[in-house]
Chain A
Amino acid sequence: MTTKHATDSMLAIETIGLTKHYGERVAVDAVNLIVPRGVVYGLLGHNGAGKTTLIRMLLGLTRCSAGQVRLLGRLLPEHRADALARVGALVEEPKFHPHLTGRENLRVVADVRGLEVRARIAPALERVGLSNRADDRVNRYSLGMRQRLGVARALLADPELLILDEPSNRLDPAGTVEFRQLIRSFAQEERTVFLSSHQLGEVEKVCDAAAIIDRGRVLEHGTIEELARGRGQELTIGCDDPAAAISALDGCVTRARRSNGILRVTLAGDPRPSAAAVNSKLVDAGLSVWHLQLERATLEQRFLEITSTVGAAT
């Protein structure tokens, strides 16, 4: 989903060499990120990988040490006000004035955003299912309710871009499912959602594309399918002579392993051969094939593979 062909007007977020130092420590290291409009884009990383710092820089909550940020085609910090006017955000744990009601807390932000924004308070509360508790003080809200109020606050911008930092962290399983549906509904309205998470399953279920970040660096990015598949598609083969099969497949696989009589190969080449083509090659070589299956890698496997490679290298 990250593409070199995207033009500025198509981009929700673009960062070039975005860097943040805290003294000697590099929290975000020369991140180049391109998020097209209208997608749900995940920023996947372990705790402490730099996700929140990156988001804080996007929103101007903390200064960048180096690099450039464009939100909705507008350069920050020069056009910060214009850019953020159509950006809704939920950063870390949602915080509110505890002595005010949910509705009053939204009013405080609405009045900062603009004169017409108060009219969006009631629909935003309705959207997140808090209308009947809107006049309760926030110090009586559960964590899940605060999370939903945080989303309502983000919706006050009528956002083209929603930036959500670990949005389902504090939700119970039912709340998580509900939240996932809410995020998908934003995408259906052609809003861009940029969410950070360390929950791989969550990103896999809700995002169209993602970037994997570790130690402040973006290691890989692409659609969820591309990320999960990595650079090669794996195929398991059951045949009467695995050694002969490896010879027969020479040139169209990059890696082959044998385990309990089953051969696991990583397909390579451009174009990548299909399972049927592999089967033909094996049959042409006189082998008897009794099992052939494409392995669907999970994002979790791929994520661990990528981040452990970096961990081992550093």
Chain B
Amino acid sequence: MTPALAKRMISSEILKLRKKRSTMLWVLFLGAGSMVIYYAYAALDHASDPAHHGPAGGTLGFARGLQGLAILVGPLAAAMIGTEAGTGDVAAGVLRDLVATGRSRIALFLARIPAALFLTLACLAVGLTVAVVASFALADGSATPHLGLIASGAGWVLLADGIVCVIAVGLGSLTGSRAMTLTALIGWELVLSPQLLDAASFGSARQALLDGALVRIEPHPLPNGTPHLPMSIVLVVVAITLWPLVLAALGAWRTATRDA
């Protein structure tokens, strides 16, 4: 397959995703709308009681926005797009028509990943822009984030949510079910993973958790944020590589072997 054909296949995947209006609206709301709401609310809090509520913006406000995008709303947005990309063809019943073209099933699977990543990261870039603008506009005299923090923060958010997106594509392709994939991912991201991270009894086994690895490389940790696990950078790299790789491999395997 030539690069030009791969580009065409990816652009078709993007078309399928971006035309899914309900999903795209939710993702935009989660990625950008939630940031607008958060900063507006924090700004109102600060305006009404500056003694108890610090400025919405500044370095601390920026770090809070980053954490929301990387750990809370961003993964939800990434999971929605990734799930749609992973399950869309099977759910619509068109996988058989794509398979019947003779194109490799692995190629069909692989085209989903860059398409889902492109849209996920584009939506989150809007959210990041909101966070950067708010951190300066609503600083109210406090220190504002420097360029290095903005760059590393953006990289961290895009890495964290990109990984979740790839996992969602893989899991969606594996299960073929939107409901099952989204329930599993949201349950894991919002309930199970935080609980396991907090469970000291699991000891070093927690180092295998993706969220532990992502929080470990957080560019500007919050004073009362998620506690860091004592992980080496090697383990961080292993965790953030293996999770998407294993799920993507499972998704590819299922796409290659399922009855279309």
Q: Give residues in A with beta carbon < 8 Å to B.
A: 56, 59-62, 80-85, 87, 89, 91, 95-100, 104-105, 107-109, 111-115, 153, 157
Chain B positions 58-93 with a Cβ under 8 Å from a chain A Cβ: 88, 92-93
Q: Indicate whether B149 reaches chain A with its CB closer than 8 angstroms.
A: no
User: Once the chains bind, are A112 and B20 in contact (CB under 8 Å)?
Assistant: no
A89: chain B residues within 8 A (beta carbon): 97, 100
Q: Taking A99-B19, A113-B103, A157-B101 as given, write out 19 further A-B residue pairs in contact, using a Cβ cutoff of 8 Å, ordered by the A residue number.
A: A56-B259, A59-B99, A60-B100, A80-B102, A85-B102, A95-B92, A95-B93, A95-B96, A98-B92, A100-B16, A104-B15, A107-B15, A108-B94, A111-B8, A111-B9, A111-B11, A112-B9, A115-B4, A153-B97
A113 to chain B, nearest CB (A): 5
User: Once the chains bind, are B92 and A97 in contact (CB under 8 Å)?
Assistant: yes
CA distance A137 to B146 in the complex (A): 48
Give the residue of B92, B100, B103 whose beta carbon is less than 8 angstroms from that of A91: B100
CA distance A157 to B103 in the complex (A): 12
B94: chain A residues within 8 A (beta carbon): 95-97, 105, 108
B156 to chain A, nearest CB (A): 33
User: Once the chains bind, are B260 and A108 in contact (CB under 8 Å)?
Assistant: no
User: Once the chains bind, are B88 and A107 in contact (CB under 8 Å)?
Assistant: no
Which chain B residue has the least Cβ–Cβ distance from A89?
Answer: B100
CA distance A157 to B9 in the complex (A): 16
B16: chain A residues within 8 A (beta carbon): 97, 100, 108
Q: Indicate whether B108 reaches chain A with its CB closer than 8 angstroms.
A: yes
Per-position 1/0 for B96-140, Cβ under 8 A of A: 111111111000100000000000000000000000000000000
B104: chain A residues within 8 A (beta carbon): 81
Q: Indicate whether B52 reaches chain A with its CB closer than 8 angstroms.
A: no
CA distance A98 to B12 in the complex (A): 15
User: Once the chains bind, are A115 and B100 in contact (CB under 8 Å)?
Assistant: no
A115: chain B residues within 8 A (beta carbon): 2, 4-5, 8
CA distance A87 to B97 in the complex (A): 11
B90 to chain A, nearest CB (A): 10
User: Once the chains bind, are A81 and B260 in contact (CB under 8 Å)?
Assistant: no
User: Once the chains bind, are A113 and B100 in contact (CB under 8 Å)?
Assistant: no
Query: Mind listing 6 A-B residue pairs with CB under 8 Å?
Result: A56-B96, A87-B100, A95-B93, A99-B19, A108-B15, A157-B101
Given contacts A95-B94, A100-B15, A108-B15, contact A62 B260 (CB under 8 A): yes
Size category of the binding interface on chain B: 20 to 34
B101: chain A residues within 8 A (beta carbon): 84-85, 109, 112-113, 157
A84: chain B residues within 8 A (beta carbon): 100-102
B4: chain A residues within 8 A (beta carbon): 115
A107: chain B residues within 8 A (beta carbon): 12, 15
A87: chain B residues within 8 A (beta carbon): 100, 102
User: Once the chains bind, are A61 and B96 in contact (CB under 8 Å)?
Assistant: yes
A120 to chain B, nearest CB (A): 13
CA distance A83 to B12 in the complex (A): 23
User: Once the chains bind, are A81 and B92 in contact (CB under 8 Å)?
Assistant: no
A112: chain B residues within 8 A (beta carbon): 9, 12, 98, 101, 103, 108
Which chain A residue has the least Cβ–Cβ distance from B260?
Answer: A61
B100 to chain A, nearest CB (A): 5
Which chain B residue has the least Cβ–Cβ distance from A60?
Answer: B99
CA distance A157 to B98 in the complex (A): 12
Which chain A residue has the least Cβ–Cβ distance from B257?
Answer: A63
A108: chain B residues within 8 A (beta carbon): 12, 15-16, 94, 98
B119 to chain A, nearest CB (A): 15
4 residue pairs, one from A and one from B, having the closest CB atoms: A84-B102, A95-B93, A111-B8, A111-B12
Which chain A residue has the least Cβ–Cβ distance from B108?
Answer: A112
Which chain A residue has the least Cβ–Cβ distance from B107?
Answer: A112
User: Once the chains bind, are A61 and B102 in contact (CB under 8 Å)?
Assistant: no
Per-position 1/0 for B1-30, Cβ under 8 A of A: 010110011011001100111000000000
Given contacts A96-B94, A100-B16, contact A61 B99 (CB under 8 A): yes
CA distance A167 to B102 in the complex (A): 21
Which chain A residue has the least Cβ–Cβ distance from B94?
Answer: A95
A8 to chain B, nearest CB (A): 19
B2: chain A residues within 8 A (beta carbon): 115
